[in-house]
Structure 1
Amino acid sequence: MENKFNSEKFMDLIIPNALLNVVENQGTITNINDSYSIVHIPIDKIDFCNFNGFSYSYFPTCYTLDSTVALEKIGFVKVRNNPNLSLYGAGVLVGVVDSGVNYQHKAFLFKDNTTKINSIWDQTIYNENTPVNEEFPYGTFYSREDINRALALKNPLDAVPSTDENGHGTAIAGIIVGNEDTGNEFSGVAPLSELIVVKLKQAKKVVRQFFAVSQEVTCYQKSDIMMGIKYIINVARRLNRPLVLCIAMGSSQGGDDGLDPLSYYLNDISRAPRSCVVVSGGNEGNRSRHYLGSFGKGDEFKEFEFKVGEKDKAFFMEIWMQPIQRLSFEITSPAGEKISSVYPGIRQIKKYNFIFGPTKLCINNITTEAESGDQLILLRFNNTQSGVWKIRLNNIDRTPSDFNVWLPSGELITNETFFLQSNPYLTITAPGNAFAPITIGAYDTLEGGIATFSSKGYTRKDVIKPDLTAPGTFITSPSNKEGYVTVSGTGSAAALTTGVVALLLEWAILRGNYTGITGSEIKTFLIRGARRELNVDYPNRTWGYGQIDLFGTFEKLTL
């Protein structure tokens, strides 16, 4: 039977369970949790431009990776050296949903050369000899025993062929739990914690086609991320051990409001006892991919421009308005060709093939998007003409209010595509804009100032994000080959914070100090203990509530 998670003949929609009775006859269903399921819809039933009546938020948006001396700065060395604390993360599980892991690296081996990885779910490997797991019906699973048997072989990959071609997942996992290596000036924050690893498969071609994303770039689809999280939660519950989950990737899709299915899922996990979620805030702070527009009272229109680079032939753009607004849309190409007004409607669609240039454009002007209730103008460009484009938004009701426009995040486009008058705020990527998880920005490890790439808040719904910041530049981490590499990004900062949370979970749960602690409470403890400058107002859009300081947290912790 054809595996629908891998098949290009199906689109994997993320549907609220309350609506399953409406769509159950349109495709097969895979449950994620009590709130959402994946419905595999045959692509011949979907018109890529008009969505066939499905909400935009149901489609599996594309996520990119958030990383490319730090330990003292987060206050964990004092905690490790304090005889009353001496925390190493023992007994805590760390979940990493990413590009995989180099399980052979010595950073992930205990002193007896056995693995500190509890299990790996590699979504990319199909093994016809493995019985189908009905709950997770794709990929291949490797237990601790499988990995240890492989490590005893001359060529471990003969038995467990799971690798990390990208290196990002290995770096993130190593920063969290890697063994100390004094010769290379490296140590993970929680070296006695154990890993649960999910290696994500690349986003389907059909998903990339739907969102006008290049087939060449590395990206992952939301439905696979949610399935990976479900797997990690299941393992932690089966083992009855505390868990911290690290999500070091992000997406600029979805309106920066924390109202999408993945955000809701992470909120639930963060509020549950014995579990916590740490999320990177994104690396969009200096990429000029956000535009903030404002209508004054009586203003009829606003215009803005963006430049498209030679290599960026396919990409999307989202324009989000407030509920009181209704905007019509016009666009002018670099050749001067203009599309006349596209007015909002429940399913307002326009397909346009430019005459003076090769560009093909699909426009959805949706008066009310299902999750947020706000107006969304979605643009999907293909075979795009390079140069400067101009967009005009007409204020139908002359209502004073703001609107936000986002280009794709990460490596989905090059740095040659950007807004000419950009705004660095409201650049926190999803799921960093979810309310309950700990969202982390990055500061310069050596200089102490905010990292130029670190995304800035708040969210479009004015939720305070990032929550905190951590070192995020020139972080030593294990390589996906041999030795060590240096990485930068809010993903690195999130990994350091994940290690800090593992130490807190060890202190609270394994040592019996606060056995029912939740992720939300851990966030509050870290906020109280954060370092703050006397001449800076907190919280703010750049630093959140300050810089992570685990020792400061213990100093201020009273039960």
Structure 2
Amino acid sequence: MVMNMLFYSEYVLLMSIIWWNMNQKIENLLNVSLDATREELESSESLSTGFNWRDNTWEIIVRYTGNLENIKANYNVYVRELLFNYAIIVTDKATIELISQEPQIVYVEKPKSLYFQLERAKSAACASNVRVGQPGAYGYKNISRNINESISENTSGNIGSGQTGHGIGGIADNGIQYLSGKGVITAIIDTGIDIYSSEFRNADGSTRILDIYDQTLQREYSAADIDAFIGKDRNVYTGRDISQEENEEIPAFDNIQHGTNVAVIACGKSGVAYESDIIVVKMGYSYNNQFPRTTSLMDAIDYIIRKAMEYNRPVAINISYGMNYGDHNGNTLLESYINAAASGYKCSICIGSGNEADKAVHYGGTIKNAQTDTVEIAVGEYQSSIDIQIWKYYWDDIRVTLISPDGTERVIVTHGKISRYTLGGTNVISMSGEPSPYNLYQEIYINLQLQGSYITSGIWKIQLYGENVRQGTYNIWLPASVSLNRATGVIRPVAYDTITIPATAGGCISVGAYNSYTGAYAAFSGRGSALTDVLTAGIKPDILAPGVDISIRRDTRQGVVYTSVTGTSYATPFVTGAAALLMQWGIVMGNDRFMYGEKLKAYLRSGARQLDGVTQTPNPVTGYGALCVEDSIK
């Protein structure tokens, strides 16, 4: 009897191990995370994202059919239902297994951390209120609101010089009507917004912001709420004279000004869609770090679409976040949700392509039978953990060997199972996954964890050998560069396939950056796949906009401050504002009631202008060219 009980307990343990490794309704990374010990979770930011240390619960993303009523009734769960049959669920580890077996659950993923697409920023005080624009290769430094002028030719510098433009009904002296975004909503998903700024207020001082959803406080604010805060007597500029408690009371208080700067470009009164109404979502943070999660982004998009439906207005949504986890082919639940949202309502979702092209985070190649490729990855000192993703076609048999700096090696061979071992003084978790019912690519996942204080520094190697190869294409990604030590990265990185997720979603408008002073492509701007047929509609990025040394003006009690910002974070709002103008021209003014989604994207692509020296578009570097609203609505 004792032997039978021992056999049974061993059998249960074995079956639990097999389940964590083989549940194909659950993505690979979530399988690994659920199988991880608490110590392993503590050592890895990527594995622990979505885990709440306080109550040992997990936040997960599910795609489902029908409804979730039986799950709400039968399980101890918190459910946040999103549009288009997606949901965010919070529950414990054991319940995730049970939920995943329910017939209406299609697929389950864990949240991932998202990162700003900010390349660099600097501030300087200036004496005058207006900085005179300097002519460059692509024009002067002020945004033109003339629909017969190219926005891309007039955005090469200062934003926020304080001038106001003509409204939708405004007619200039030359008889030309101007677009302003009136009747359209511009939505900003970011770090918050400065509600006191004159950029976002009407002539009578009231706010142009319709609604704010502050995820950090889990609180909504109406326009009346915002006006009440504006009416209070306080330092409304930098917050230096305001206590931390007071700062936290201000709706969507933007302590780093990233969201405010983005909003100034997209919809400030001196920005592109300067008369559009505004909705703002201040992104919430992970339980375990300072970065927002993919679940926060999905929640934000859901909130905005529901509000736009309530107001019955078209909406242009701006997203300046990205990540590297996934096959970069549109197969994550976040990407499929964005596709559903983009096709499910009168909207345009504009997402920055990321700033990873000149970073050491990617390698890609093609391997043949009996060929060996060796990819070297430098790991700097004081690196506590690192994830390595290898994505390939499932039908290609490629032997993958991990080699530590001291030369010890391990072949990753077991499909669909999680392995743990020590290599070169570093703990390693690896998994050679299976394709899922929704993804034909195979992932080989490697997580290096500390054994002691940090993982072993030096040159790690990924050796690939083609055993039975049909196509041979493979890609290797590290996490976003901002999450790595400076000395950590791929030794010979490849700049292609560096567009960050979710800008890889087919339904969004992915925005790269160029230097509008010189007319040159920005080296940091994320690139699409070099293997994509340039004649297909799947080329990414879709379009470029100015994203180098954009100067944004801000009034403070100490005087006027100019912030010079660079990155696809700041290229994206030019396109978001342009999308609002096109929706105004089409939907609000009655020229084209279907000016949204893929049609709007097609118009922007059609009107884009080639950069100097570019001989063929579209291409995976410059996409379809530089933003030009004039040519998009001819």
**How high is the TM-score relative to the length of structure 1?**
0.84
Q: Within 1, Cα distance between the matches of 2:389 and 2:428?
A: 13
* Aligned partner of 2:110 among 59, 79, 83: 59
* Alpha-carbon offset, residue 76 of structure 1: 7.7
CA shift for structure 1 position 493: 0.7
Q: Does residue 468 in structure 1 map to residue 535 in structure 2?
A: no
1:313 aligned residue: 384
Q: Residue in 2 aligned with 1:390?
A: 461
Equivalent runs, 1:215-254 vs 2, <5 Å = 215=289, 218-254=290-326
Partner of 2:84: 34
255, 258, 270: which one aligns with 1:168: 258
Q: Distance in 2 between matches of 1:106 and 1:310?
A: 47
Task: Evaluate the alpha carbon distance shift between residue 143 and residue 410 of structure 1 in structure 2; reply closer, same or farther with a 3 A threshold.
Answer: farther
Question: How do 1:126-275 residues align onto structure 2 when only pairs under 5 Å count?
Answer: 139-155=218-234, 157=246, 160-179=250-269, 187-205=270-288, 215=289, 218-272=290-344, 274-275=346-347
Structure 2 residue aligned with 1:90: 182
Partner Cα separation in structure 1 for residue 112 and residue 58 of structure 2: 11
Residue correspondence of structure 1 range 403-418 to structure 2 within 5 A: 403-418=474-489
Question: 1:101 corresponds to which residue?
Answer: 193
> Deviation at 1:231?
0.6
| AA matched with 1:286 | D
> Deviation digits for residues 384-409 of structure 1, max 9, x if unmatched?
22211111224342444110001112
Partner of 2:579: 501
Judged with a 3 Å threshold, the aligned counterparts in structure 2 of structure 1 residues 367 and 105 are, in CA distance, closer, same or farther, namely same
After TM superposition, the structure 1 = structure 2 runs for residues 262-341 of structure 1, keeping only pairs within 5 Å, are 262-272=334-344, 274-296=346-368, 298-338=369-409, 340-341=410-411
Alpha-carbon separation, structure 1, partners of 2:56 and 2:88: 15
Aligned to 2:413: 343
Larger radius of gyration: 2
Q: Is the 8 A contact 1:425 1:457 kept in 2?
A: yes
Task: Give the CA deviation at 1:282.
Answer: 0.9
Cα contact 2:63–2:106 (8 A) shared by 1: no
* 1:353 alignment partner, SS class: strand
Quickly say closer, same or farther: Cα 1:420–1:509, change in 2 above 3 A: same
Report how far residue 28 of structure 1 moved. Answer: 3.5
Equivalences, count: 514
SS at match of 1:506: helix
The secondary structure found in structure 2 opposite 1:86 is coil
- In structure 2, relative to structure 1, the CA distance for the partners of 1:414 and 1:4 (3 Å cut) is closer
Rounded to whole Å, the distance in 2 between the matches of 1:390 and 1:197 is 44
* Matched residue, 1:132: none
CA deviations 1:306-328 (Å, max 9, x no partner) are 11122432221211001322334
Give the C-alpha shift of residue 5 in structure 1. 8.6
Question: Which residue matches 1:129?
Answer: none
Task: Name the % identity.
Answer: 28
Tell me the equivalent position of 2:32: none
Does the alignment pair 1:538 with 2:621?
no
Cα distance change on mapping 1:52 and 1:329 into 2, 3 Å: farther
Paired position in structure 2 for 1:552? 631
Match of 1:18 among 42, 46, 65: 65
CA deviations over 1:6-27 (Å, ceiling 9, x no partner): 9663211111113967997474
| Structure 1 contact 252–407 (Cα < 8 Å) conserved | yes
How far 1:410 moved relative to its partner? Answer: 4.4
Question: 5+ unaligned residues in a row in structure 2: which ranges?
Answer: 1-49, 121-140, 145-149, 156-164, 167-171, 237-245
Cα distance, 1:46–1:293 mapped onto 2, change above 3 Å: farther
SS in 2 for 1:227: helix
In structure 2, give the amino acid aligned to 1:405.
Answer: I
One-letter code aligned to 2:420:
K
- SS of 2:504's equivalent in the other structure is coil
Describe the shift of the 1:115–1:5 C-alpha distance in structure 2 as closer, same or farther (beyond 3 A): farther
Partners of 2:464 and 2:582 in 1: CA distance = 49
| Aligned equivalents of 1:152, 1:499: Cα separation in 2 | 28
Q: Distance in 2 between matches of 1:380 and 1:478?
A: 44
**In the alignment, does 2:445 pair up with 1:378?**
yes
Q: 1:470 to 1:428 in 2, by over 3 A?
A: same
**Greater mean alpha carbon deviation, residues 307-316 or residues 416-425:** 307-316
Taking structure 1 as reference, are residues 514 and 161 closer, same or farther at Cα in structure 2, changes over 3 Å only? Answer: closer
Distance 1:501 1:44, change over 3 A: same
Partner of 2:151: 74
CA RMSD of aligned residues (A): 3.1
Give structure 1 stretches of 5+ with no counterpart: 126-138, 180-186, 206-214
Q: SS of 1:284's equivalent?
A: coil
Deviation at 1:343, TM superposition (A): 1.2
